[in-house]
Amino acid sequence: MEKQNDQSRMDRIVSLAKRRGFIFQSSEIYGGLNGFWDYGPLGVALKRNLKESWWHDMVAGHDELSTLPGAPTPYEMTGLDCTIIMHPQVWKVSGHFDLFHDWMIDCRESKRRYRYDHLHGRWASHRGKKVFVVTDQSGEEAAPHTVQKAQKFFGLRAKQVDEIEWEGTLVPLAASVADGSVTLSGALGPDAGEAGTLTEPREFNLMFETRIGALAGNDDDRAFLRPETAQGIFMNFKNVLDTSRVSVPFGIAQIGKSFRNEITPRNFTFRSREFEQMEIEFFCKPADSAAWYRFWRDRRWNWYLSLGLTAGKLQLREHHADELSHYSVGTADIEYAFPFLAEGEFGELEGIAHRGDFDLRSHMEGKLVRQNGQLVVETGPDGKPRHRGSGKDLSYFDDATRERYVPHVIEPSAGADRAVLAFLCDAYHEDEVPDEDGKPRSRTVLKLHPRLAPLKAAILPLVKKDGMPEVAIDLYRRLKAHMPCMYDEKGSVGRRYARQDEAGTPWCLTIDGQTLNDQTVTLRDRDTLVQTRVPIDACVDMLRERLH
């Protein structure tokens, strides 16, 4: 059983990714650019296969006439491809623009993010143990929250809270860190059980800025590279409704690049500044939204399993009720135990969020904020909307029930690069196989699902003579018409197998002396190493069938 936190294993995966042309650092000959990655010849094929599997399974291959297991009803799926640069107002209304200038602080334990200037705290001690208790609550709720947190931290019963000794009143965390009276390692985060889980504050320079037009220079020319593909879908909700025959419930899918000026890009491609997302905005009737949320959470979980990701390394993390936005009945993350994480830690692959009518309403009315449990338009000092909406009607008229409503949205949002990384890490194995002389030889193998494998087969003549290359080339040409495969006649057959194992090729077809007599070839399975003889004319159909 391999250890999870194995940096040397991760280093070997990164090194294989580079050596075999899966992933390179961007602009490497100039020293590289932090947070940007290029996909090489094998990597581009792997990533395309992943995106095409997603698109096929979620959109193109979706059977809209049947009711899928767990789905309340049949539903339709359609797609879009939107621009990366959109009207700047999109980001003001979506809330991304306001996050731009803030200093944010993350909690490694609860995975929550806080505005640094919203955090306050005070020192508490009990029987020699001391901690700076931080709260994100404001007004009258702040002090009781710190008492509650300290009670839990010190493991006290309710009647023992008076034993806690408090030093001073609530003070801003930022000021206390700045004057050195508090360190983050001694601070207990608002949703943490342990001290020292708050990260260093970072300015939330989320969006990359650009300028539109040759004479660009004033503020009106400012535009942003999209930090998510989702907003393009909301922008076209009405266009799709008006021009196609879809009716609620239906989903719109999009795959495309997103950009975030991450302060700390790290862990290979896991946190990049340019990355690809695979997002669905699924529009449904408000009353059915909880059932649709559960359906999508389970459907997306099963998708990763269907492509062979190890179940034991996957985790579905439902957000706690107090982590949810009040309009949301649920958010779940699908997480993977990446080898660069500590034992027991998981990294997010995908989030499935119930977003209520937040997005469509915002783009109608203006940027919304929460007030007394309600979503209301945020207003400026002049009483007008701080960021005005489009004013367009984005409600839906249900012909069957004669009702008009703003659909609720379920959003399964996945990262293509993170998924590629998870499949690469999961597929990476080191084992021992017998060489041509029967001696054990260590090998590195990528046990990728055949749908994801860059090459499906390699065709290998045992030797470069006796008519074997001719037979092999003919088979290669027949197979190539149906799937990516390669012809290789260089080096010993053992070395050729090893090259294919490292590339994740599931099958090798070897043409040998016997082929010339009985028209059969050896089919070698990458994972079981079992070799079977197959009639040469049956190879194409057999491998095509195995791919489905």
Binding site for ligand GAP (CB under 6 A): 228, 230, 260, 262, 271-272, 275, 277, 279, 348-351, 411, 413-415, 417-418
List of residues 6+ apart from 42 with CB closer than 8 A: 20, 21, 22, 454, 455, 503, 504
Query: Could you give the residue ranges of the DSSP H alpha helices within 244-347?
Result: 289-306
| Least spacing, CB of residue 424 vs ligand GAP, in Å | 14
Please identify, using beta-carbon distances, which residue of 237 and 275 lies nearer to ligand GAP.
275
Joined together, the tokens standing for residue 410 give 């379920």
Q: What does 435-502 look like in DSSP terms, one character per residue?
A: -TTS-EEEEEEE---TTT-S-SEEEEESSS-TTHHHHHHHHHHHHHTTS-EEE--SS-HHHHHHHHHH
Please identify, using beta-carbon distances, which residue of 123 and 338 lies nearer to ligand GAP.
338
Measure the N-to-C terminal CA separation of the chain; round to a whole number of Å.
31
Q: How many CA atoms lie within 13 A of 222 on its CB side?
A: 12
Phi, psi of 300 (to 5 degrees): -70, -40
Please identify, using beta-carbon distances, which residue of 201 and 232 lies nearer to ligand GAP.
232
CB 317 within 8 A of CB 336: no
SS3 34: coil
Residue whose CB is nearest to ligand GAP in the complex, by number = 415
| Least spacing, CB of residue 401 vs ligand GAP, in Å | 30
| Least spacing, CB of residue 189 vs ligand GAP, in Å | 20
Please identify, using beta-carbon distances, which residue of 235 and 433 lies nearer to ligand GAP.
235
| Least spacing, CB of residue 354 vs ligand GAP, in Å | 12
| Least spacing, CB of residue 16 vs ligand GAP, in Å | 20
| Least spacing, CB of residue 94 vs ligand GAP, in Å | 9
Q: Rounded to an integer, what distance in angstroms lies between the CA atom of residue 419 and that of residue 353?
A: 18
Kindly compute the dihedral angle of the four CA atoms of residues 282, 261, 38, 225, in this order, to the nearest 10 degrees.
60
Please identify, using beta-carbon distances, which residue of 278 and 460 lies nearer to ligand GAP.
278
Q: How many CA atoms lie within 13 A of 491 on its CB side?
A: 11
Please identify, using beta-carbon distances, which residue of 271 and 361 lies nearer to ligand GAP.
271
| Least spacing, CB of residue 207 vs ligand GAP, in Å | 12
Please identify, using beta-carbon distances, which residue of 417 and 501 lies nearer to ligand GAP.
417
Please identify, using beta-carbon distances, which residue of 336 and 428 lies nearer to ligand GAP.
336
306-328 burial: b if 16+ Cβ within 10 Å, else e? ebbbeeebbbeeebeeeeeeebb
| Least spacing, CB of residue 254 vs ligand GAP, in Å | 10
At how many degrees (to 10) do helices 41-55 and 416-427 cross?
Answer: 110
